[in-house]
Structure 1
Amino acid sequence: MATYKYSAIIYRQRDTADQLFCVFPARVGEVQLWATVDRLTPENKAGVQRERKDARVDAIGDFFKADDRNTIPTSIIIAIPRASLDLGGIEEKDISTQPVSVAITIDVPDGQPVPGLIIDGQHRTYGIAKYDSTIPVNVVAIVGAGDDEIAFQFIVINNKVSKVSPDHIKALKLEYSDANLDSRLTRSARMRSSGAPAYLEQIDTQDDSPFKGMLKWPRNEVDAKRSIPLNAFEMALMHIGSKRLDQVGGEEGVSSDFIARFFIEMWKRVKASWPALWDDPASRLLKKVGVVCMSQYLVDTLVSWSLSPYAKIDLTDLNQAGDVVTDILKQQEMAFWTAEWDAASLDTKSGREWVVDSLERIQYNKANNLPWNKNVSLTLGKKDASGE
C-alpha cells in the first residue's frame, strides 16, 4: 500500500454539512498518484469532468514560461472518500467550523483505483505537471462527499466562476507600476490592464506563430509593404470567436487564449503547405484581404466538415483541426494568391465576399478534377471590387 502524508488544516464549513474540507499543499506529480479525473463519457455516465483540452493544458505551461514570478494560487478541488484518509487520531465528530491542524495520511491500496477524484482543476493539474511535476499546488479536499455532492460541486464551481472586472484590474495599478503590470498581464494572461484580451501580442511574439514580427507595429522593423494591418487579425479572430468552436468558456464565452491558439495553428498549416508565399512580395495571402478571407474560408469549411455525419472532427483538438486544415488546402491553389486579379482593392464587405466565393469555386473545381481557375470570377473580371 502506498501512503502520502501531509500537514493540513481541516474543518467543517457549516455545522449542517456532512463533508469536511481539508486544505494542504502537495506536489502536483504526487497528487496524480492518488487522484484522477472521472470524465463524463457515453461509457461513463456517472463521471462529472469534461473532456481534456490540450490547448488549455499547454496554456498553463506557457503561463509558467512567460515569467518566472508567475504562480497559480487557485486550488485543485479533489473529492476523497472518508475511508481513504487517516486524520491522525482526530475524531470526525469533534471537527467543527473551527479549523484545526492535522497530519493526514492518504492510503492507496495496491492494485486498487486511486481514491481521489479531481472535480475542478484537471487542466491546471495536467498543465503544471507537464511543465514541472515537482511544483506544489494548493489542494482543497472534500472529504466524505458522495456522488451526488461531487456532481453538485462540479456544476456550481464551473457555472459560477466570473472574470475579474476591468475596474478591479485597474485598481491593482495603484500598487504596481503601469509598465510592469501591463507587461506581465500581456505575457502571462493575454490581458491588458483595461481587461481587453491581447490576441495581437500572442500572434506577434509567439515563437511558433507564422506571423511573428509581421504585424504593422512601430516596434517591428519590416518592410511597410510586407507588414500586415492589425485590423486584419482582429477581423479574423472575431470570425473564429463567432463560431463558438470552444465551448469550455460556458457563460463567459469563448476562451480568448483558445481563439489565438486556433488561429496560429490554422495558419501554421497554411505556411507549411505554401511556404513560398511567405517570401513572395507578390503574395496577396499576407495582406489584409488574404488574412481575413483565408481565415473565414478555412473556419467555415472546418465547421461545415465537422458537422458532416460522415466525419468525427473535434475542433477543440488543435492537432486534429490542423490536420483537417492541411486536407482543406489540398483543394486550394497556391497560385491563386499570386495570379493577376481584376481588382485593385477588395477591402470592402462585398470585395471580401468575392474573394471567399473564389476560394469556394476553387474548392469545387479541385474536387471535380477541373482546372482550378475555371469560372473563378476574380481572375476573369466578371465584376468589380464593389460587387456591382
Structure 2
Amino acid sequence: MTYEYPAIFTCQRGDSGPLTASFVAPAGEVAKWAEVERLSHGGGGHQRLRSESRVRAIARFLEQDNRNTIPTALVVSLRLPDIGTPQIGSCGTIRIPDDVDPRPGLVIDGQHRMYGAESFDSSTPLNVVALVNAEDEEVAFQFLVINSKASKVPTDHVKLLALHYAEDALAERLRSARMVLGRHTFVGVADSSPESPFFQAVEWPTEPSQADADRSNLVRPASIEQAFAAIDKKKIPDLADDDSLIEFFFTLWRTIKERWPELWTAESKLLQKVGLVAMTTFVIDDLIPLVDRGDVNLADPDATRVEIEANILDYLDPGFWQREWTAKSLDTSAGRQLVVDALTTVRRNMRREVDWDTGVGLLAGGDDDG
C-alpha cells in the first residue's frame, strides 16, 4: 500500500541543506511507515527509550478536553528513492509505501507524540516535517540539535501568559493536562487528578465549603510534596520528566492503597507525613539498583507495579503501621530513617519466614531476635 499526502517541499538552505516536506498524516499511518530506532551503546539508533508514562500522558491530554491539540510537528527521515524532483515552494503530493523493509520512515523527534496520539485515536492528524533522502549523518545531526537546543518555557513566562486569559477556565485545562508550574504544585496534581490515589484527599489549610463535601482530607499537602521530593532528589533518568514522575508516584501509591485498603484512613500512620515519606523512600531506594542494572523501567507503570507488588509489598505487613511505636516525633530526617530501617527489618524477617516484628525496635512489644 502507498500513502499519499498533500505536501509542500522546501530547501531551507538552498543546495546546501536537505530537502524537506511538510504534510499532515494520521498518527496510526505514521506508525505504519515510520520506524522508531532505539539508541544503542554501539552507536546505532537515535531515539531514547520509549516511556510508557509519557505515551499515556499524551493520550490522557487528548482525552481530557476536546480543545487540546498537538500543533508541534513530528520530525522524520524519509527514504524515497523514486521521488524525482519536487517543485519547491508549491503544494504537491508525497507518496510513502508501507510494504517495504526496512520502512521508509524513521522518527527523529516526536515518538511519544506519535504513540500517544495513536493510543488515543489512530486517526488523529499530526503535522509532519520530513527530511527527504537525507544522509545518515544529517539525520543524527538533526536529532542531536533538536534535543539539545529545545528548552522548556520558563515558569514565570507561563504564569504571565495565564494572566491574559480567564483564570478559572485556564487553570482547569492546565490541571487536566497535569501541567506543573513549579514542582511544589505536584500536590495539586495529586489532589485534582481522578486517577490519583489521593484524589480529593489533601487537607488544604482553608475553610471548608459546600464544594468540599466529597473530600476525605486524608493527607497534608507537605506530606505529598516531601514524598515527591524524596523521589526527585534521586535524579533517576526514567523519571526525569514531570509526566513520568507523576505516573510513578500514582502507580506506587495506588498499588499500596489496593494492597492495604484498611490503612486508608486519616488516623493511619502510613498516611501521616513520616509514614508517607518513609514508605516512598523505602520503595525508591529498593528500586534504584534494579533501574541501574536495567531490570526495571520506572517509566513503565505496569512493570513498576508488578515489581512493587511481588518484591516489596509481599514482604511487608500492614500491622507495622497499626502497632504502637516506641519513638515519637519522627518527622525529622533521622526519624524517617528509623522507619525506613524498621521496614527493612520487617522485609528481612518475612523473607526468612520468621515473625515479621522480630527485632523491630521501633515497635512497642516487638519480639526480640532469636
- Look up the match of 2:27: 28
State yes or no: 1:207 paired with 2:190.
no
> For residues 266-281 of structure 1, what are the structure 2 equivalents within 5 Å?
266-278=252-264
Quote the Cα distance in structure 2 between the aligned partners of 1:47 and 1:206.
36
Alignment partners' CA distance in 1, 2:145 and 2:36: 18
Q: 124-133 or 63-72: which moved more?
A: 63-72
Partner Cα separation in structure 2 for residue 237 and residue 63 of structure 1? 22
- Specify the SS of the correspondent of 1:346: coil
TM-score, scaled relative to structure 2: 0.89
1:6 is paired with a residue whose SS is strand
5+ residue gaps, structure 2: none
Q: Deviations over 1:130-154 (max 9, x none)?
A: 1011111111011121111111111
Contact 1:77–1:118 under 8 Å retained in 2: yes
Change (3 A) 1:26 1:356: same
Match of 1:298 among 260, 283, 286: 283
Distance in 2 between the 1:348 and 1:220 partners?
31
How far residue 266 of structure 1 moved from its aligned partner, in angstroms, is: 0.8
Query: Which of 231, 253, 260 lines up with 1:240 in the alignment?
Result: 231
Q: How far 1:307 moved relative to its partner?
A: 4.4
CA distance in 1, matches of 2:215, 2:39: 51
Q: Secondary structure at the match of 2:3?
A: strand
Shift of 1:190: 1.9
Aligned residues: 360
Distance, in Å, in 2 between the alignment partners of 1:112 and 1:66 is 37
Runs of 4+ in structure 1 deviating by more than 3 angstroms, as ranges, are 84-88, 109-112, 195-198, 218-224, 304-308
3-state SS in 2 of match to 1:285: helix
Counterparts of 2:8 and 2:21 in 1: how far apart (Å)?
6
- Structure 1 unmatched ranges of 5 or more: 249-253, 383-388
**1:139-154 correspondence runs (5 A):** 139-154=128-143
CA root-mean-square deviation: 2.5
Q: Does the aligned pair in 2 maintain the 1:10–1:102 contact within 8 Å?
A: yes
> Per-residue deviation at 1:350?
2.1
Q: What SS does structure 2 have at the residue aligned with 1:377?
A: coil
Q: CA deviation at 1:348?
A: 2.1
On the 8 A contact 1:86/1:106 being kept in 2, the answer is no
Within 5 Å, which residues of 2 pair with 1:42-57? 45-57=43-55
1:357-376 residue pairs with structure 2 within 5 A? 357-376=341-360
The question of whether the paired residues in 2 share the 8 Å contact of 1:214 and 1:220 is answered with no
Q: Structure 1 residues 86, 126: closer, same or farther in 2, change over 3 A?
A: farther
How many Å separate the matches in 2 of 1:57 and 1:197? 24
State the shift of 1:344 in Å: 4.2
Matched, 1:156 2:117: no
Counterpart of 1:255 in structure 2 is 241
The residue identity in structure 2 corresponding to 1:359 is L
Paired residue type of 1:58? R
Q: Secondary structure at the match of 1:361?
A: helix
Q: Distance in 2 between matches of 1:174 and 1:298?
A: 40
Q: Distance in 2 between matches of 1:305 and 1:39?
A: 21
Identity value in percent: 37
- C-alpha change, 1:189 and 1:16, in structure 2 (3 Å) is farther
* CA distance, structure 1, for counterparts of residue 31 and residue 90 of structure 2: 24
- Looking at structure 2, the residues matched to 63 and 8 of structure 1 have their Cα atoms a distance apart, in angstroms, of 28
Distance 1:306 1:53, change over 3 A: closer
Equivalents in 2 of 1:208, 1:325: separation in Å?
18
| Cα distance in 2, alignment partners of residues 340 and 171 from structure 1 | 50
1:7/1:101 contact within 8 Å kept: no
Alignment pair present for 1:285 and 2:270: yes
Partner of 1:5: 4
Whether 2:342 is the aligned partner of 1:351: answer: no
Per-residue CA deviation, residues 131-189 of structure 1 (Å, 9 max, x unaligned), is 01111111101112111111111111112110101232233235312222222222214
Q: Is 1:106 matched up with 2:76?
A: no
Matched with 2:296 is: 313
Structure 2 Cα separation of the partners of residues 295 and 155 of structure 1: 35
Counterparts of 1:223 and 1:13 in 2: how far apart (Å)?
A: 56
Alpha-carbon separation, structure 2, partners of 1:380 and 1:296: 23
Match of 1:385 in 2: none
